[in-house]
């Protein structure tokens, strides 16, 4: 049996982040979660770090190391998304405060020290929120950049353009300077933009399948989805809502569910109008070198089958 891939999940939970974390923690054959680093994003840091601990407890994994990271983007004021995720970031079911403790120390130091400690090329970073913690680690300890195996992240858009502004996806928009550092880092990047996540939509049958698991995690996922869906259904008139962040973890488990192109992707940091845009050369109209595998398609039935089967293990 292949050894599981070592990952750090960097996250701003967020209901879809929560499902991603549950997917990772329910897949020990493929994934070893070295730690979870919280960042400010969907809601402020005190809530994202607390939510990360709630999710670990829900998965029966209070032993997972959870660290708090940056409370604001590198150079900008934090923009949050309570309009999507609710006041707590995990609105939907009522959840008790976690008992497990936050780790002492800063998430950025944990990322750096883990990359120093583990064999070079053995740790994959999985950012599910703004890229502040990752960029801060690269700025503080540039020698860790070459030790990262891969970064598989949720962020950006090309055909779908934007969700928080007409031209920018939330995670990139919140900290475009951090995104710019990551996209220029030279690390092997796999990007899950809105182009693919908007094809990973919930629907009645998919949510019913979570509920039918008859377990607490299954019920929580269904209730989170019920809450989270209303925003996108109203906005897009769609049947359900995209589970963005679980695409990152699903890619680690079953990359064959996804397809994309190796292309050049650059981040707009200057323009007020298009700030945070991922300028993706999907059609190869520039000579700029490819720096990312930009995913465009997913087998949505396969994705939801995987999610349901794995959440059912918890
Ligand atoms: C991304 O922004 C957040 O609202 C979600 O958790 C996801 O990471 C989608 O644009
Ligand atoms: Ca997120």
- 243 Cα distance to chain centroid: 10
The active-site residue, picked from 83, 106, 244, 262, is: 244
- Binned at pLDDT 50, 70 and 90, residue 117 comes out as very high
Q: What is the mean pLDDT of residues 40-46?
A: 98
- What is the value of pTM for the model shown? 0.97
The pLDDT of residue 232 is 75
- Which residues touch 309 (CB under 8 Å, ≥6 apart)? none
Q: Mean pLDDT across the chain, nearest whole number?
A: 96
Q: Which stretches of the chain are DSSP H helices?
A: 15-25, 45-58, 82-85, 107-117, 132-140, 170-174, 176-183, 194-197, 204-211, 216-236, 246-253, 300-311
Q: Going by CA atoms, what residue is nearest to atom 10 of ligand 1?
A: 170
Listed residue (58, 184, 56, 200) closest to 131, CA to CA: 184
The secondary element (H helix, E strand) that includes residue 266 is strand 265-267
**The predicted structure's pLDDT at residue 96:** 92
Centroid of ligand 2 to alpha carbon of 245 (angstroms): 6
- DSSP assignment letter at 12: -
| Residues flanking ligand 1, CB < 6 Å | 14, 16-17, 42, 81, 84, 128-129, 154, 163, 169-171, 244-245
pLDDT at 170 over 90: yes
Rounded Cα–Cα distance for residues 307 and 249 (Å): 10
Quote the ligand 1 centre to 119 CA distance (angstroms).
Answer: 31
DSSP type of residue 103: P
- How far is it, in rounded angstroms, from Cα 303 to Cα 314? 17
Q: Is the preceding omega at residue 14 within 30 degrees of 0, hence cis?
A: yes
Share of the chain above pLDDT 70, in %: 100
Q: What is the spatial distance between Cα 121 and Cα 118, in angstroms, rounded to a whole number? A: 8
Q: How would DSSP label each residue in 19-68?
A: HHHHHHHT-TTTEEEEEEEE-SSSS-HHHHHHHHHHHHHHTT-TTS-EEE
Residue 238: the pLDDT is 76
Closest CA to 151 of 113, 183, 112, 193: 183
Mean pLDDT over 203-214 rounds to: 96
User: Is there a contact between 305 and 209 (Cβ–Cβ < 8 Å)?
Assistant: no
Mutate which of 43, 47, 228, 244 for ligand 1? The one with the most ligand atoms within 8 Å of its CB, which is 244
Q: Which atom of ligand 1 is nearest to the CA of 245?
A: 8
Q: Give the strand pairing for 265-267 and 278-280.
A: antiparallel
CB atoms within 10 A of CB 130: 32
Query: 33 near 20, Cβ under 8 Å?
Result: no
Mutation choice for ligand 1 from 15, 42, 295, CB with most ligand atoms inside 8 A: 42
pLDDT score, position 1: 67
Average pLDDT of span 162-172: 97
Residues 6 or more apart in contact with residue 238 via CB below 8 angstroms: 201, 232
Bridge partners (DSSP) listed for residue 162: none
pLDDT score at 235: 77
**Is 106 marked active-site?**
no
**Confidence band for 239, pLDDT divided at 50, 70 and 90:** confident
* Residue 217 token pair: 């995690």
Q: What is the pLDDT of residue 237?
A: 78
pLDDT tens digit string along 245-289? Answer: 999 999 999 999 999 999 999 999 999 999 999 999 999 999 999
Q: Which atom of ligand 1 sits closest to the CA of residue 15?
A: 6
Fold type of domain 5-311: Inosine-uridine Nucleoside N-ribohydrolase; Chain A (3.90.245)
> Is the pLDDT at 123 greater than 70, yes or no?
yes
Domains of the chain, residue spans: 5-311
CA 92 to chain centre: 20
| pLDDT at 161 > cutoff 80 | yes
């Amino acid at each position: 049996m292949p050894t599981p891939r070592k990952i750090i999940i960097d996250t701003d939970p967020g209901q879809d982040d929560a499902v991603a974390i549950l997917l990772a923690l329910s897949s020990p054959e493929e994934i070893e979660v070295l730690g979870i680093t919280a960042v400010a994003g969907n809601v402020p840091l005190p809530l994202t770090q607390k939510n990360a601990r709630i999710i670990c407890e829900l998965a029966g994994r209070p032993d997972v190391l959870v660290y708090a990271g940056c409370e604001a983007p590198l150079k900008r004021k934090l923009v949050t998304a309570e309009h999507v995720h609710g006041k707590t970031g995990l609105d939907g079911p009522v959840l008790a405060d976690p008992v497990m403790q936050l780790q002492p120390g800063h998430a950025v130091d944990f990322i750096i020290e883990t990359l120093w400690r583990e064999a070079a090329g053995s740790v994959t970073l999985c950012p599910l929120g703004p890229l502040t913690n990752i960029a801060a680690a690269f700025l503080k300890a540039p020698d860790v950049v070459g030790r990262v195996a891969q970064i598989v992240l949720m962020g950006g858009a090309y055909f779908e353009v934007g969700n928080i502004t007409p031209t920018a996806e939330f995670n990139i928009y919140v900290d475009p300077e951090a995104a710019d550092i990551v996209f220029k880092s030279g690390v092997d990047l796999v990007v899950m933009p809105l182009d693919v996540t908007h094809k990973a939509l919930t629907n009645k049958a998919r949510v019913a399948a979570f509920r039918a698991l008859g377990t607490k995690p299954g019920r929580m996922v269904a209730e989170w989805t019920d809450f989270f869906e209303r925003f996108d259904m109203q906005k897009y008139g769609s049947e359900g809502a995209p589970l963005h962040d679980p695409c990152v973890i699903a890619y680690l488990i079953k990359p064959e569910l996804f397809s994309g192109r190796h292309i050049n992707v650059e981040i707009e940091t200057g323009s007020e109008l298009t700030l945070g845009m991922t300028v993706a050369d999907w059609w190869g109209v520039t000579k700029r070198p490819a720096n990312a595998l930009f995913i465009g398609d997913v087998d949505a039935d396969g994705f939801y089958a995987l999610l349901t089967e794995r959440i059912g293990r918890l």
